[in-house]
């Protein structure tokens, strides 16, 4: 998410005057988190962070941003039902179909309570995880949704995992790319087929991909198209 912050995420936060932001998954020792918190301090907004093992000094963050930060050291699907409303949700957690699909269903329930579907920004919508599951905690995924997987790396153009090398070789990656209920982008597409909200989906193809779900209404459509056209990504 950090690579997209200045050109896409921050303009969205400003244009939508986000008063409550939810970040699922902390990336690169909280580099995006600190930028979100600085925005919240400036705009008198709140940030809810959800991550079972955030890779930064949480005590320091909570001390400096005591008015802005609410931290949940839990898995996203344990927490989202407790949230009453959100303006923007950033998803960069467990990159697999089951988790992302059910996170989106939970966000839909938040929208049903508040009457407003938030802007949802999802990382890794292109290769390697757009069409391939990855599991930080395989045991948390129900058996029927958990693909055969291994701690092996991936190579562009190869449907199967490679025996040596490749990217993210220490993560639990699905043995095969593509197929039903496999990957972040597939989860988004499947959610769009069932949601009761009218949503537009925008894609950025660089830096492993970024997907943005926004309410299909005049202001949202105009704002999102402007941001996408001027981002240069």
pLDDT in tens, 34-79: 999 999 999 999 999 999 998 888 899 999 999 999 999 999 999 9
pLDDT reading at 1 higher than 90: no
Handedness of CA 70, 203, 221, 186 (dihedral sign): negative
> Which pTM does this prediction carry?
0.95
Phi (first) and psi of residue 175, to 5 degrees = -65, -30
The residues, ordered by sequence, that sit 6+ positions from 135 with a Cβ below 8 Å of its Cβ are 94, 96, 141, 146, 149, 171, 172, 173
Summarised one tens digit per residue, pLDDT across range 95-126 is 999 999 999 999 999 999 999 999 999 999 99
What order do you get walking across the sheet with 210-215 strand by strand? 69-72, 46-50, 20-24, 88-91, 119-123, 210-215, 199-204
Q: How far is residue 206's CA from residue 194's CA, in Å, rounded to a whole number?
A: 28
Q: Which residue has the tokens 């966000």?
A: 107
Q: How far is residue 1's CA from residue 232's CA, in Å, rounded to a whole number?
A: 16
- What pairs with residue 12 in β-bridges? none
């Amino acid at each position: 998410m950090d690579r997209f912050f200045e050109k896409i995420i921050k303009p969205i936060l400003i244009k939508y005057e986000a008063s409550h932001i939810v970040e699922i998954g902390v990336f690169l020792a909280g580099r995006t988190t600190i930028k979100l918190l600085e925005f919240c301090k400036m705009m008198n907004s709140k940030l809810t962070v959800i991550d079972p093992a955030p890779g930064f000094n949480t005590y320091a963050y909570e001390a400096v941003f005591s008015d802005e930060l609410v931290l949940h050291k839990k898995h996203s699907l344990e927490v989202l039902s407790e949230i009453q409303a959100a303006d923007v949700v950033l998803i960069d957690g467990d990159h697999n179909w089951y988790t992302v699909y059910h996170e989106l269903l939970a966000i839909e329930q938040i929208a049903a309570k508040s009457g407003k579907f938030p802007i949802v920004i999802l990382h890794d919508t292109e290769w390697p995880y757009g069409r391939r599951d990855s599991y930080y905690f395989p045991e948390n995924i129900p058996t029927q949704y958990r693909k055969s997987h291994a701690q092996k790396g991936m190579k562009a153009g190869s449907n199967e995992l490679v025996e040596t090398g490749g990217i993210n070789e220490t993560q639990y990656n699905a043995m095969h790319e593509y197929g039903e209920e496999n990957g972040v982008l597939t989860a988004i597409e499947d959610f769009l087929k069932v949601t009761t909200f009218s949503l537009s989906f925008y894609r950025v193809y660089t830096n492993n991909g970024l997907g943005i779900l926004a309410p299909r209404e005049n202001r949202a459509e105009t704002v999102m198209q402007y941001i996408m056209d001027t981002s240069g990504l």
